[in-house]
Structure 1
């Protein structure tokens, strides 16, 4: 009986074990991301148990679990997956990015801070979400994406930087551009240019972009730091905000290979966008100019420029053609040109492509990770005068040498070859306040401002030459014989040493070195118009040709050429060598469950040496193997003009700083943060008070959603109130407190009188100190309905003090004009960011992002006096009680009975003259138009996705600013330049003054009378209130349609993922002021090397292997 009982019990126990085992199965599968790329390192646990595994390099996992149990899968940056086990033992999982998690960390460059504990104003932008295919410069992708960040594409030429402002201008004469930081190290500018310089079109601007050499596919995120708390650790360099770029690094897992290739086509500009006369209407104006004495046979022979009418007179003088009936112009000859209607945009711009390729490979183990990438851009050029080849390489690696010590390094390189049309740098005409540029062959400006009656080819198909700068000129010939070739190489190396001293304390050392060199060689061929102008010494033009030499040693001689042979080989070489080192301690510890303390203590040193060399290379014979035949008189010619043929500028910048930060959080509800920095710069002189600037910040935040009285509000995910107050500073790059002495050669017209001297450019200025910015910021961050609705509101007040400018003194100290801290500027504004998940289903998702920014400034103190010429110019003036760059106009009173403009002066008096050099009380009768800087701007972005298809639409807008229109109306016109379309409505007969405000074309006699009387009504007309437009615009900046190929297709091609996309950039200027006549409100038509950012279409293929 006992044996039977024992047997029965044994059977029951074994049956129970067998049944229990049968309920538990081995679950296997592969975990991948939305691109079907396997994810290694995913943690898989059976929920409610201690049983767990980690996915391997192939994303594979295997775990034992019972039917009905739940597998919990977690991975940083991905949404947690909860999978209930059913009948299947194979469960493949696709994990989705957790956008909230990716935005949960703020990267300041020095620290990574949990956003919940962050008290400053910052925005995170993932490049993948905003990347503009076909646009090489990653900085342009930020336009319309971040509240408070205003980006203006002043030029689209490769290498030029957009004008970027964070919360408006904080300085009056400073650079007003943000500080760029890449992987924790400040990216020094190769050449230092202000936002005003960036829009100049000068040759240096093609080196102005700090980010042109960065492969967009290497960038992970942008972090925009806006207020004093966010930028505090950058001390005296953070006045204008900071943009932190974090690049991609290697990840643990099997090798992942990515290849992307894109083809971009650009649209040509066309005349339908602009309002200029066609060739037929131009000829009718030329006829009027002829009748009023402006164009005649005598003037045509001596004019610096001439078009078809003057060319006709030259041919009559040379007996090539005859006069018309009764001694009239030969209208039969002119008929061809009246019908020409030359499309210069079609002549100078071309259908071309940009080919972009990028390749990367990354992999890693538990102790080492690496990523390597290369990229190329081959741009055929949008004009007949330009092309670009740009190459980048990047290699980074991280090694965990032990559980206490790790090391990382990064090596980057950029090589560029670029050709552009050559032009001289612009110069400011002190008398008129207008920038002028000799020998400008900018294709866009030439197409817009050259008469359409001029033709590039004659009737036989040969290139036709007219006259420009006293010499024969054909634009196609000139761009082939006058161009700049730029070569650039930029290398940098960075290494990070990280020591885990304790579980709470880390020590980091960052070392960075950079070597940069660019060589720009301008070829001015002996056959070019530029060179020919220096040899144009015909008897009828010799006296007026400014490019000939009036020898002061032989006044009896006629002006003569100092370039009898050859052309110019002008070189501009720039180099930068910089070093950087930072040592940093980071401490973080949580006491109990509620008290968290973090601290940072760091020290850094930096060094930057810049050298620029220029040589004009006179008398270079390109057609004779580079033989040089320089006329020694060219030295005397330059000397008589106060110029040198060779120049070297060297600058050495040294900086040092210590930084500290202390933060405390209680129960993740209440956060207090304080920062103190002490930095110095050698450019601020020897005085300690000038050289070193302590900056500080105090801030706090309240996470109200963690309060017990809100814990049951299920629809509330985030409610955070924060505020900061602090001091930051800046030293304008051209300001120095030290004694500045240059070697100099005084201007001596006589060569024998030349001598070398020392020039005291600036006396020691011990009172000059840093510009300072005191800023208060208050913000509210909210999220509702499971984070489907997010709203951020910010308000700030900024007070800039001790702004640097030139001020007149009594001369007691030895200088009549000196730099001083002479200004104060107040600014306030607010920002709104709204993020929504509008629709979300299993197959369809629609999200949107709207941001709006508003700010206005007022100058509270400014001891320098601007001229009337400044106040009415495009950049405006700086006047107490007005915003920076305030634009004024001369009040237009109408046309008189002769069609001549009149204006309101003081007390309503009618005037026709004004001294643009006047500085006293210049606002007494000028009309204030508004600021030249936008007062509001923002963007709207919508993203739609349906299964494997996605559509992204992005708009940008701005407004509140005023734009001074180009000087288009004159007392006289020539037959070489294009004519504004408004001339159709010009005053022609008495009584027209009642129906039009377009002034008359005066006769030469009347014009001379105005000059003799000292009147300048046409200059005033161009600076009047009728020549001002609103700067408001709304632009459809980007549309992108993408399709991710289904897994069933890519598996056959041994791919992990494949995506095809089609995008359009700068597609449609939805709204702008009609008075701009088609001119892009962002683009500064400054000529030189600047070209507009045109409409483009890009097709991209992206593969992961």
Structure 2
């Protein structure tokens, strides 16, 4: 039987046939080769017999070839020039014959297969004379430096210094080469060889040298030729710290003066030189590779290991080129590139693991179970909250476990002993370990990056990286992210260069569902989540009282039980985001000094989030009960369900953002006037556009397996709702649907800009800078008066050290003075105002049956424009004692006019407020950066970096409508005549004899009635500001042989925060509260020992003519100094010896261990860590202990 050949078999046979066919030619050539080799070997040993006298050489070669069966190949002119020859041989080998007569003719031969090639014999040249150059290389202290590379410039010839720092290099006599000396951690140095043969070279450390160039995003310019205020941080410093936080901007804290990182909840986190806006953006503009990075979070797209440098632009001269978005400063990030000329492929691995752990629950100062039970017994008031009320719908229908024995005892159902037994049993329970086990997880972060760089030739270079991050948060969110980065540089011609950068990040987040009605903040300390065997415990009491639950279940025929640990399993919460960026640049040298640069960037970001609650989740079951009518009459018909009874609730949210930038720019750079004058100028135009669209879809009755959902009448439920529902919303007669099926929004911003910048330098000493830019945008009004307002700056710099009269001042290495003045801008937020009304679609029960209506969110304002910030800056840069001490000092004054904010207006116009320009604010201060090289020897070094900034601001004008009162002022943070971010407080006058709070009015009279007319705005006291006035860091770096050790202390001084106080003043004890409740006033006379007001049972008793609890909460006694010093990080690293790395075929291996937030010194005595605190409300946040990180860096050979 003939077997049927399968497709796979046929494919395999065809592959074999193709292989054999392809191998025929190589096999044939191989046979020829073997034959050729055999023939050649035979021909070279053939016997020759000739006898020529005065015969042309060409005839001799012909006869020799004939006898040896070989072909002679030669240059006829060369052979003819040798004339006639005499050759005699008797049965000799061909090679011996040739050796005897050819050398005398100045010829030689080469056998190539069956061919003899005749060539002109090389001429022996005499050896050139050489001389030996010797020297010794030391550091600035005179210590010899072994291993310094000494290479002749322009060649690969060189040596390394020995253990005594000595070197010997042979050079051609009569030449004067240049040696390049390089050593890790030292500045490269060139040595010009003269007539002498012995030299001494001193290398200086890299750390202390000022940055040579400044990258503004539009150009790269020498620091000496700029009058602006800049500072620069290396990418190595960023990546070293980023492993601890995973946040690029946070790692910049303390590395540069002027940047404030405020961790206080509710405060502006990142500020450069203070707050310059009230209701618009306050954070600096982020620029990556010359283009503003849109849509915020740079961590979504940029790998910290890919950063080459970070430059801060802080004054008008440096930042104004960025136009109406740069008033808050600019952070320019430059990513790494491959190096042309370096043909070796360099591969680096960097990995780290950081453990943050669980939060410190004790930090929040909440009561223990025992304390809570005791307090519950003390405040229990069955008359204020009768059993008949609390168990009904209108009374909330909630009775907490600790209240049940109290009510039972009050109603005579149990005796005191049984009451106390039940309460004691609750007091002995502590659910902290179960919260940590079931609701939370330890926070940790791991990151791995493989990067490579190299160049195929002098034309093309590449840098690339692949990164992976895993972030596990305490709230049970697990994030996986992959990041790709490739950067190409192509020098097609001497006059044409192209660069292309592509970034891609893909992030997946899975967040564990939290129970619908339980979290670590609301659960009572005795409420256990599972029994001793690990079985989930029912917590229905947190939603309904048992009898009320039974009633609802009977009417709805639904199971309304609530078990938190089961609830966490009923659904999923996940999201995915994709971010991409393409940055393409072209540079064309047009004529000498003139260059064209074009750049295009396209950025796309997309995210999708999915939230699903199954039909078994308590949220879906209870929502269904809200839109269910009971059967009428009962037990004869089924209830009426207005929502699907099967399937869950599924919400899909999408965000799609697109941004692009096109820039065309001309650069001019020429030196003229006998090299004494230099002018550098740029001029260009830029177009930017960004659109972000978001939508949300909610489907009920959704089945994730079949991906189908059920229909229901959303319009009816959203407009008219359901009356007489089984479970009414807090006693209201009608339940209306809040979570709707679909919503969508779109935000668009466009800019068209024209700009120019010029720098003129004379004699390398005097520099003049100027810039101008005009921005047009759809964020402004369409009135020409606001669309064509220029942003500009001027600046001058004087390099005093280069003056001839400073030549004798040897201890000074540098002395520069700088001054600048200019105008910057801050654009309105998208979606807040502009030339058109901003509308919001809305359905309302007030207009039932009329369909969808529209609210005017923000009315059109044809004259709205960017905030204007005028900045004056004066600075000095100093370097002394061979750069052992370097310092920069800047003093600045910023005046922001026409602040943007939402202003109340006449409601008869159709809206409550509008977005407009209406105020002025100033900022002033100074900043210092000091670097010292304390010790530097052969094996040990110690250097220090100190940054210090002082900033103070004041609101000069704020056109607010309405009279100011004490009750308004105490909550406000921006008031005319005061600093921005102000904190105000009542003047505390103690407790009354009844235990109620009292304050002083402006005349010093004691007031307890908040409606007292004498309680004017002057009665409120200015306490300070929530932003630090002084901030900076002290960093010390130590190095000993292969070990490196560093630590950074950060400090923030001069700001205030509210104290965390008891905030439980009335009602039932339904949640855990502060331990400070235990210090409350209880009886007359306690006012002498405590300032904590008394507790009252009923809500109506809490705010009366004799009691306003905010008098205490917002009193001056509860405002604390928020100053602190914290050990931000400590790092120890070790680089393995070079000999060991060579054995492992590695170039360098470095191990490191890091820790952050090891200790705190705070000005307050309440144990508050200001970094985990809400400065205005006084609430304590979630505090973590130190973070621990371990990392490894490998540089492959």
CA contact (8 A) 1:683 1:691 kept: no
TM-superposed deviation, 1:852? 1.2
* Residue number among 730, 740, 760 corresponding to 2:837 in the alignment: 740
TM-superposed deviation, 1:827? 1.4
* Residue number among 465, 470, 473 corresponding to 1:373 in the alignment: 465
1:421/1:854 CA distance change after superposition, 3 Å: farther
TM-superposed deviation, 1:296? 6.2
TM-superposed deviation, 1:292? 6.8
Residue number in structure 1 paired with 2:936: 840
Residue number in structure 1 paired with 2:231: 123
Q: Deviations over 1:207-249 (max 9, x none)?
A: x523343211111111011111110110111111100000011
Q: Deviations over 1:917-964 (max 9, x none)?
A: x9x996221122211222221111111111110011012121322223
SS in 2 for 1:273: helix
CA contact (8 A) 1:296 1:310 kept: no
Residue number in structure 2 paired with 1:170: 276
TM-superposed deviation, 1:750? 6.7
CA contact (8 A) 2:133 2:168 kept: no
Within 2, Cα distance between the matches of 1:406 and 1:562?
Answer: 64
TM-superposed deviation, 1:117? 1.1
Within 2, Cα distance between the matches of 1:941 and 1:492?
Answer: 35
Q: Within 5 A, what are the aligned runs for 1:104-253?
A: 104-130=212-238, 131-132=240-241, 133-153=243-263, 163-189=269-295, 209-251=297-339, 252-253=342-343
Matched, 1:586 2:683: no
Q: Within 5 A, what are the aligned runs for 1:92-103?
A: 98-99=206-207, 103=211
* Residue number among 956, 968, 975 corresponding to 2:1050 in the alignment: 956
Within 1, Cα distance between the matches of 2:762 and 2:1169?
Answer: 57
SS in 2 for 1:727: strand
Q: Deviations over 1:1072-1105 (max 9, x none)?
A: 52336456346689999x9767532111111011
How many residues matched?
1001
Residue number in structure 2 paired with 1:1042: 1133
TM-superposed deviation, 1:804? 1.7
TM-superposed deviation, 1:971? 2.4
Residue number in structure 2 paired with 1:543: none
Within 2, Cα distance between the matches of 1:336 and 1:756?
Answer: 56
* Residue number among 599, 608, 623 corresponding to 2:681 in the alignment: 599
1:824/1:439 CA distance change after superposition, 3 Å: farther
| TM-score between the two structures when normalised by the length of structure 1 | 0.83
TM-superposed deviation, 1:987? 1.7
Residue number in structure 2 paired with 1:782: 878
* Residue number among 362, 369, 372 corresponding to 1:282 in the alignment: 372
Within 2, Cα distance between the matches of 1:637 and 1:1021?
Answer: 44
Structure 1 stretch displaced more, 935-944 or 628-637? 628-637
Within 2, Cα distance between the matches of 1:384 and 1:881?
Answer: 43
Larger Rg: 2
Q: Within 5 A, what are the aligned runs for 1:535-554?
A: 535=624
> What RMSD in Å do the two structures reach over aligned CA positions?
4.2
Structure 1 stretch displaced more, 573-582 or 128-137? 128-137
Q: Within 5 A, what are the aligned runs for 1:1005-1044?
A: 1008-1010=1100-1102, 1013=1104, 1017-1044=1108-1135
Q: Within 5 A, what are the aligned runs for 1:775-924?
A: 775-809=871-905, 817-865=913-961, 871-873=969-971, 876-905=972-1001, 907-914=1003-1010, 923-924=1017-1018
* Residue number among 1019, 1024, 1027 corresponding to 1:933 in the alignment: 1027
CA contact (8 A) 1:166 1:241 kept: yes
Q: Within 5 A, what are the aligned runs for 1:260-275?
A: 260-275=350-365
* Residue number among 414, 424, 430 corresponding to 1:341 in the alignment: 430
Structure 1 stretch displaced more, 800-809 or 602-611? 800-809
* Residue number among 955, 973, 977 corresponding to 2:1071 in the alignment: 977
Residue number in structure 2 paired with 1:660: 756
CA contact (8 A) 1:274 1:1079 kept: no
**Which protein, 1 or 2, shows the higher relative CO under an 8 Å CA cutoff with sep ≥ 6?**
1
TM-superposed deviation, 1:990? 1.9
Within 1, Cα distance between the matches of 2:941 and 2:816?
Answer: 27
Q: Deviations over 1:965-1016 (max 9, x none)?
A: 4563232254442221222322222211101112222244xx54455x4665
Within 2, Cα distance between the matches of 1:756 and 1:62?
Answer: 89
SS in 2 for 1:401: strand
* Residue number among 1073, 1080, 1083 corresponding to 1:986 in the alignment: 1080
Q: Deviations over 1:830-867 (max 9, x none)?
A: 11111111111111111111111111111111112577
Q: Deviations over 1:125-158 (max 9, x none)?
A: 0131243224222111011221110113468xxx
Within 2, Cα distance between the matches of 1:528 and 1:742?
Answer: 36
Within 1, Cα distance between the matches of 2:297 and 2:517?
Answer: 23
Q: Deviations over 1:694-736 (max 9, x none)?
A: 1000001111111111112111011111111000112221442
CA contact (8 A) 1:673 1:700 kept: yes
1:656/1:625 CA distance change after superposition, 3 Å: closer
Matched, 1:309 2:399: no
Within 2, Cα distance between the matches of 1:990 and 1:249?
Answer: 75
TM-superposed deviation, 1:561? 8.2
* Residue number among 489, 500, 506 corresponding to 2:589 in the alignment: 500
* Residue number among 678, 683, 691 corresponding to 1:609 in the alignment: 691
Structure 1 stretch displaced more, 268-277 or 478-487? 478-487
TM-superposed deviation, 1:288? 1.2
Within 2, Cα distance between the matches of 1:883 and 1:1064?
Answer: 36
CA contact (8 A) 2:513 2:569 kept: no
1:343/1:123 CA distance change after superposition, 3 Å: same
Within 2, Cα distance between the matches of 1:476 and 1:166?
Answer: 46
1:584/1:62 CA distance change after superposition, 3 Å: farther
1:535/1:760 CA distance change after superposition, 3 Å: closer
Residue number in structure 1 paired with 2:11: none
Matched, 1:360 2:466: no
Residue number in structure 2 paired with 1:32: none
Matched, 1:700 2:796: yes
Q: Within 5 A, what are the aligned runs for 1:1074-1089?
A: 1074-1075=1165-1166, 1077=1168, 1080-1081=1171-1172
Gaps of 5+ in 1: 1-16, 30-35, 46-51, 190-207, 424-437, 538-546, 551-557
Within 1, Cα distance between the matches of 2:365 and 2:908?
Answer: 55
TM-superposed deviation, 1:741? 4.9
Within 1, Cα distance between the matches of 2:802 and 2:616?
Answer: 77
Within 2, Cα distance between the matches of 1:440 and 1:1051?
Answer: 60
CA contact (8 A) 1:415 1:490 kept: yes
TM-superposed deviation, 1:563? 7.5
TM-superposed deviation, 1:1037? 1.1
CA contact (8 A) 2:779 2:828 kept: no
CA contact (8 A) 1:520 1:571 kept: yes
TM-superposed deviation, 1:80? 2.4
1:772/1:655 CA distance change after superposition, 3 Å: same
Residue number in structure 1 paired with 2:28: none
| TM-score between the two structures when normalised by the length of structure 2 | 0.77
Within 2, Cα distance between the matches of 1:624 and 1:376?
Answer: 34
1:849/1:440 CA distance change after superposition, 3 Å: farther
Within 2, Cα distance between the matches of 1:1020 and 1:1087?
Answer: 14
TM-superposed deviation, 1:822? 0.9
Matched, 1:414 2:414: no
Residue number in structure 1 paired with 2:554: none
TM-superposed deviation, 1:689? 1.9
CA contact (8 A) 1:517 1:574 kept: yes
Residue number in structure 2 paired with 1:65: 171
CA contact (8 A) 2:1007 2:1015 kept: no
CA contact (8 A) 1:805 1:864 kept: no
